Structure 1
Amino acid sequence: MKKARWMKGMTGVLLASVALAGCQSGGQEKAVVTPDAKAGEAGKAANANGKILDKQIEVSVYMRPRPESVESNELLWMKPISEKTNVNFKWLKAPADANDYIEKFNLTLAGGTLPDLMEAPPDLLNKGGENGVFEPLNKLIDQNMPNFKKLIEQNPAVLKDIKSDDGNIYFFPQISAVKTINLQIFRQDWLDNLGLKAPKTTEEMYQVLKAFKEKDPNGNGKNDEIPFTTRSKIKGLLPFIEPFGVSFEEDFYVDNGQVKYTYTDPRLKAALEYTAMLYKEGLIDKEYITNDQKIWESRFTNEVSGATFDSFPRIEALEKLVGKANPKVNLTGLTPLQGPTGIAPYTKSQQNLIKNGFGISSKSKFKAEIAKVQDWFYSPEGQLAMNFGKLGETYTMDNNEPKYTDLVMKDKNNSPLIKMYELGHREFAYQWDIRYENAMVTPKLAQIRDSITPFIKPKYPVALSFKQQERDVLNSKFTEITTYKDEMLNKFIIGSEPISKFDDYVKQIDKMGIDAVVKIQQASYDRYAKR
């Protein structure tokens, strides 16, 4: 009965939770410092046989897959991890789409037969723990996880973001190393072809996209350009919205300690008006709402699009794709735009300190064993294995610094990140290593990535937790509000609703109960601030 009541209240609050997404999140705390490790250094938890566990066990895992990889213990990246831990990981089939993944996650919980480990956003794992679905980890950490215990003692920001309101820890976190993630990506060669400079303001952006549309930057003599495209639906239009002072990266924001709702902010009206103008003039992909990754890639490989908004490693991935047909392609990343009202350039698109996490089923037979294995993931040796793979094949050590081999760095068809996934890299709960980022990216990408860091502003915390009665309100009101909001934003952008109706839209959201939702968010935010 308790579980059933909890499941009833889960759907609505998901809309305020961080989405599952590999390589995506946003934090305001500094990155965790990674301890040095020597190649081949034995983990303290290892047994006499060099393995973490005495006997082999099979651990069932529900986690989001990567389209570039298959789930296998025999792939080059995973095999030494499986052998070292003495664990045969049984990968359960899961959807790649974030929304579908969460839906199946909820259905799995409702079914009652749970895998040993499940990946989800922190709020879902905390609420599952509070309702007895996931095991409290406090004692397991004290008894079996010296590496992780040391990590959270040295980094209180991590502990704050993983601790539930009831004081327990219910999940092992994925811990980010850098902040920068998504940025504007442009065809520098198109800019050069037209004698244009990279846009720095919303007006310059309009003029550049207009030139892409009208002046044949791809040089094929046809008026076939779709200047800006995206695979991220409305979130992919973020660079046109943030210059006006609001961000699609957060449903709520904090102003002098007060929680407010992003999508009724008066500044959003001007942002939507600007974006609708770009759409009306054909400067934004007409299919932005439905584009999947294949269509998005085809916009570039067919050389009809010259700009997008995506993760910085995609710069190199797109260059390789387009480069098969046009070796002169040159992509770059741009800093955020200056808005028309004097707002300083900024972005809230960033990696969270805590990305997602993994909870242990309260019914698992291997709780202590999983804790020991997980602790190895956070150890110096484990971090090398998770971040860099197999010594001698996917990385080498140079002056005690890991360096990826040509197998990862020089694949002619894939960027290093995509190649890592292809080799079996899985995003378990461990600590992302800044050396992983630095070793993976070219000097060009590192410079572009670091150019965004000064523009990042903290966003609304994703590690909030809610009481059951609060979830009931969120489920009854916020789900409906969010559905209506999403529908109306797209209508404003594509022009099926005039911007003049924005005030009516705000009144409708008020009628739907946004004040009650904001009150709950305020209470949760205040609890989070006191952790």
Structure 2
Amino acid sequence: MAISLKKSKLTKAIMALSISSVLLSACSTEQKQSVAGTKAKPNNEIRILAGVVGGKNDEEQKLFVQEIEKKTGLKVDMVKPPANYDQKLLTSMSSGDQYDLVYLNTPDMDVLVNQGALTKLNDDIKKSKVLSDTSIISNSDWKAITYKGGSIYGVYNKADQGTMPVLRKDWLDKLGLKEPKTLDEFYTVLKAFKEKDPDGDGKNDTYGLSLAGLFDIQPFMSAVGVKAEYVIDKNGKRTIPYATEAAVPVYEWLAKLYKEGILDPNFLTNDTTKMRNLFMSNRVGMDTDWDAWVGLYNNTLKQRDPNTAFQAEGIPGVNGPNGIMLTLGDPSLWAIPANAKNKEGAIKFLEFWHSQAGNLLSTLGVEGYDYTVKNGKYELTEAGKAAGMDHGVIFPNNSHFKNPIGFLPGVAEAHKVVTDNNATNQIATKDWPNAQKIVYNYAFKAIMGTMPATEAVKQMHDELKAANLIDQ
């Protein structure tokens, strides 16, 4: 098991690998692009299974692949499933489909490493001047994805991101409020967002806070020093801090928000899309989201209305006994399957990906389509503006890279909130999918007031212990 893990579709991953023989989806359901022309030599061809990486549409995807081919000399076949990427990845790997490079996160990597489906990369990393350069990928980053015994099976796609409270800064300023730092101050701000008509339409139609289930109450649990999912001590004993008495005050605080109509009543059934749409449509003053979404929020609203007053801002969570505790996302990685036909080509792609040219492609996109350069000045096209300078990467690992256009409004400051505070990966383990059902069941009861928080936590703990999902 890697040092850092998170839930991120682990259930689907395990289910996918239990299938002994699965046929791949028809190619017509995939975006599959390569440049036509003279057939390249076999050792010059590379086949990639990509998730979020690439163009935003078929036209741009073709240009994206052409750019990789031009810069690397490789002939690239990039398969980009339109949906359910994790399921596609695990199904393809379990069926023996051949790729030279696959995009994944650490939970899926853990499953594939256990299956012996990935190539150990330690020697390749050492031999590479680019991948072994700690100014590009730091020692601490490598440590985060190193397995017991020192084995490494993945190479970073981008720098890690994290979650935090994201608020309407324009509403905060309009109401003459200061950035909240304690639970009491958060309550004051959220109550004002609910009751003081911050959107100015004369209607009582706003909420202070929206969530997507329990995504992500960690910035508030920070107030009591409680970390999400598992904590495992040096003796291997498992605890789930959300199922301890320490978490009760935050459940009670959230229950107060729910009872007073400050918390969006549909938080239980929201997905992130619904939550984000509320935030962007003047319905809610705060949600909790990834740092990248601060820039995407601002960019989206600016594209809709250049004169908008909308301003999203990412802020730290609540300072508690263990400082400010935020959630760091799973590392975004590339891995080489054990059955890859062209490992050398895959390494060549990875070295390009972490170069200046690769960083430009993965962020700004394709020159001439997403951006133009005139007299050394970079400028986004309309397509580039819509893409939000994200073609798989917002913050490259490469510390030498400076975005020549700059970041979307607010995103650099939000990312600094993550890097300046105690943002850590959540530890899921194979037990979390079962434990999650119990934790969420009783957490929702506590927040919605159908059970006192103290009793909900007790039953949560007892049920987890009885199911052998925690040790203490």
Alignment TM-score, normalising by the size of structure 2: 0.76
SS for the counterpart of 1:514 is coil
How far is the alpha carbon of 1:124 from its aligned partner? 3.8
For the residue of structure 1 that corresponds to 2:261, the secondary structure is: coil
Q: Distance in 2 between matches of 1:511 and 1:60?
A: 47
Q: Secondary structure at the match of 1:450?
A: helix
Identity %: 22
Cα separation, 2, equivalents of 1:67 and 1:492: 42
Partner of 1:459: 424
- 1:332-371 matched pairs, under 5 angstroms: 332-338=313-319, 343=321, 346-350=324-328, 355-371=331-347
1:116 aligns with 2:94: no
Match of 1:407 in 2: 380
Corresponding residue number in structure 1 for 2:70: 83
Q: Does the CA-based 8 Å contact 2:298-2:311 persist in structure 1?
A: yes
Structure 2 residue 465 is matched with structure 1 residue 510: yes
Check if 1:196 corresponds to 2:177. yes
Deviation of 1:278 (Å):
0.9
8 Å Cα contact 2:100-2:336 kept in structure 1: yes
- Give the Å deviation of 1:498: 2.9
**Structure 1 counterpart of 2:223:** 243
Match of 2:22 in 1: none
Question: SS of the counterpart of 1:508?
Answer: helix
Tell me whether 1:59 sits opposite 2:59 in the alignment: no
* Structure 1 residues 86-105: Cα deviation after superposition (integer angstroms, max 9, x where no partner): 33443435365xxx543443
Report the alpha carbon displacement of residue 506 of structure 1 after superposing the two structures with TM.
0.9
What is aligned with 1:275? 254
Q: Which residue does the alignment assign to 2:284? A: 305
Alignment match, 1:420: 389
TM-score under structure 1 normalisation? 0.69
| Equivalences for residues 249-264 of structure 1 within 5 A | 250-252=229-231, 260-264=239-243
Match of 1:161 among 125, 135, 144: 144
Equivalent in the alignment of 1:441:
407
Structure 1 residue 77: deviation in Å?
4.6
Q: Is the 8 A contact 2:154 2:336 kept in 1?
A: yes
Q: Which amino acid aligns with 2:378?
A: T
Letter in 1 for 2:467: M
- Is residue 107 from structure 1 mapped to residue 91 from structure 2 by the alignment? yes
Distance 2:70 2:254 in 1: 52
Equivalent residue for 1:290? 269
| Partner of residue 35, structure 2 | none
- Pick aligned residue for 1:394 from 371, 376, 379: 371
Checking the alignment, whether the CA contact within 8 Å between 2:69 and 2:76 is kept in structure 1 is yes
Classify 1:404/1:255 alpha carbon distance in 2 versus 1 (closer, same or farther; 3 Å): farther
1:33-87 deviation digits (Å, cap 9, x = unpaired): xxxxxxxxxxxxxxxxxxxx97785433323237982366755554322222233
Distance apart, 1:459 and its partner CA: 2.7
User: Which residue is 2:6 aligned to?
Assistant: 17
CA distance in 1: counterparts of 2:324 and 2:377, whole angstroms: 33
Whether contact under 8 Å (2:166, 2:286) holds in the other structure is yes
Return closer, same or farther for 1:90/1:16 CA change in 2, 3 Å cut-off.
Answer: same
What runs of 5+ residues in structure 1 fail to find an aligned partner? 1-9, 22-52, 465-473, 519-531
Report the CA distance between 1:229 and its aligned residue: 1.9
Secondary structure of the corresponding residue to residue 313 of structure 2? strand
Alignment CA distance shift 1:281-1:107 (3 Å): same
Structure-2 residue corresponding to 1:172 = 155
What is the CA distance between 1:253 and its match in structure 2?
6.0
Partner of residue 79 from structure 2, selected from 92, 96, 119: 92
Contact 2:166-2:289 at 8 Å conserved across structures: yes
Tell me what 2:444 maps to: 490
Instruction: State yes or no: 1:211 paired with 2:189.
Output: no
Structure 2: unaligned runs, 5 residues or longer: 11-39
Measure the CA separation in 2 of the matches of 1:226 and 1:434: 42
Output the amino acid matched with 1:366.
N
1:446-486 C-alpha deviation (Å, 9 max, x unpaired): 445435644x1153576x9xxxxxxxxx65x5442222222
Relative contact order (alpha carbons < 8 A, sep ≥ 6): 1 or 2 greater? 1
- Residue of structure 2 equivalent to 1:319: 298
Cα distance in 1, alignment partners of residues 345 and 394 from structure 2: 16
Asked if the contact 1:187–1:306 (Cα under 8 Å) also holds between the matched residues in 2, the reply is yes
In structure 1, how many angstroms separate the alpha carbons of the residues matched to 2:198 and 2:137?
52
The Cα of 1:502 is off from its aligned counterpart by 1.9
In 2, Cα distance between the equivalents of 1:121 and 1:237? 22
Contact 1:18 1:121 (C-alpha < 8 Å) held by counterparts: no
**AA of the residue aligned to 1:204:** E
- CA contact 2:104–2:333 (8 Å) conserved in 1: yes
The one-letter amino acid paired with 2:120 is: P
Preserved contact between residue 55 and residue 61 of structure 2 (Cα < 8 Å) = no
Asked whether the equivalents of residues 48 and 99 of structure 2 are also in contact (C-alpha less than 8 Å), the reply is: yes
